[in-house]
């Protein structure tokens, strides 16, 4: 994890400890909370056209930013609870995706790799 | 954003450009993809007890790590598409949460702040 | 509940009992499974334009139908586990929505009632 | 579809038409709205133990019922928009599940069929 994410993880640990919230923070529950937050994020976009979603007004953009924050905070807590480094996992996944989606076959296609 | 997340964002940009995928990557679609990935993450936990979720076998833990990676990668792409710094947003949210959940009232309670 | 949904609920009960699955089917777990299935449903649409989503090929439509089935089956099981009649709840909600979204104010707007 | 679900579909159609909301109700958007509602449903359970989720207080149960209603209403609208009969799809899925999860192999196991 980067120093910054590690720092966020430490702050979140302390935040939960001070409130005696570790009892609620099983990986199962954190994964649920993560999904719930992404639902709140998606809610901002559900009736927008794609074009509208590319041109959010500032107020809406701030609201979306607050939801992105919630998602990141639960993701860090979940990764931390499981002893997983999310950045290392992301870098490994990027390498895998390069193999699964070769440029020549994936260009301009939204198909999954098993359909390419 | 930290240098590491910025670096991931740059790699993801290049990855999408090489495959002509920017056409699919509206914020609306990225938010949908983000939710879909968190659903795949939650699937690993849906029938586990909380206790079991705290003691994942290595194979399961690796599979969960790959889903955490997918969530982080879409979150970075969404934030980047909107010009939002997810780490700055998370730090701002942490400060807000400290106000919303004062230690003395929130201790040991899973209630939302408007129910405390 | 309608006779048909009641019949599905009875079949699902029996299905779970024969497999000794009631231990897994807490409302909490069923709600998670429900979200996971809607994620799988959304996956079919995530990279489509809205126009494309209105004109699915038959194969895709069948795959979406199978996901709709999964969502309905978990929804019935969740409602049944809680002693809630989903159809009565839906009819009550429709009446509420008619009050929240008066025709003259809601026409052509996707805003939520608290923003109208 | 049963007469009751058909009746709900007709009411929802009329509701959307009166408000000129069909423009927003592409299958893609309805699938997003469906996920968002299941997230709101899951939120009620995210910090509960499984045991607590089996014993909801009446007020909480009513709130969950309202979310179940929202999920059913969007599910009906999505199925209707695609010309899919959700009850027929559910009955077909139940038959498939009986083949995928034979009693003797699935008993007491939460594993997916490809892991049994």
Residue B81 makes CB contacts below 8 A (sequence gap 6+) with A54, B25, B26, B27, B30
Encoded tokens for C113: 């009632």
Task: Give the Cα separation of D30 and D24 in Å (integer).
Answer: 8
Measured CA to CA, the distance from residue D90 to residue C68 in angstroms comes to 8
Q: What pLDDT is stored for residue A41 in this prediction?
A: 98
B50 Cβ under 8 Å from any chain D Cβ? yes
Looking at the complex, does the CB of residue C47 fall below 8 Å from at least one CB of chain B? yes
Tell me D113's DSSP state. G
pLDDT of residue D115: 78
Give the per-residue pLDDT at D114.
76
Q: What is the pLDDT of residues B98-115, one digit of tens each?
A: 999 999 999 999 888 777
d(CA B86, CA B80): 9
Q: Does A45 touch chain D (CB under 8 A)?
A: yes
Contact C45, C12 (CB under 8 A): no
Residues belonging to chain B:
116
- Count the residues in chain A: 116
Taking only the tens place, the pLDDT of each residue in B13-23 is 999 999 999 99
| pLDDT tens for each residue of A28-55 | 999 999 999 999 999 999 999 999 999 9
Q: Let me know: does D70 contact D36? Beta carbons within 8 Å.
A: no
Structure confidence by residue, pLDDT tens digits, C48-79: 999 999 999 999 999 999 999 999 999 999 99
pLDDT tens digits along B7-43: 999 999 999 999 999 999 999 999 999 999 999 999 9
Interface predicted TM-score (ipTM) of this complex, two decimals: 0.95
- Which of C35, C50, C110 lies closest to A35 in CB terms? C35
Q: For residue B89, which residues of chain A lie inside 8 Å, CB to CB?
A: 65-66, 68-69, 72
| Residues of chain B found within 8 Å of residue D35, distances taken between Cβ atoms | 35, 39
| Token representation of residue A109 | 């296609």
- The chain B residue lying nearest A44, using CA atoms, is B28
Cβ-contact B109, B116 below 8 angstroms: yes
pTM (predicted TM-score): 0.96
Give one DSSP letter per residue of C19-83, joined into a string: TT-TTT--HHHHHHHHHHHHHHHHHTTTTS-HHHHTS--HHHHHHHHHHHHHHHHHHHHHHHHHT
What distance in Å separates the CA atoms of residue B46 and residue B49, rounded to the nearest whole number? 8
Q: How many cross-chain Cβ pairs, A to D, lie less than 8 Å apart?
A: 37
Q: Does residue A61 contact residue B31 with C-beta atoms inside 8 Å?
A: no
């Amino acid at each position: 994890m980067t120093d910054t994410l590690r720092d966020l993880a430490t702050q979140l640990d302390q935040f939960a400890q001070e409130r005696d919230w570790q009892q609620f923070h099983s990986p199962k529950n954190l994964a649920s909370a993560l999904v719930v937050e992404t639902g709140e994020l998606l809610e901002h976009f559900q009736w927008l056209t794609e074009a509208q979603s590319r041109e959010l007004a500032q107020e809406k953009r701030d609201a979306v930013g607050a939801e992105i924050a919630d998602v990141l905070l639960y993701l860090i807590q979940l990764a931390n609870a499981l002893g997983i480094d999310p950045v290392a996992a992301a870098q490994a996944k990027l390498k895998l995706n390069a193999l699964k989606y070769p440029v020549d076959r994936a260009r301009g296609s939204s198909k999954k790799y098993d359909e390419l």
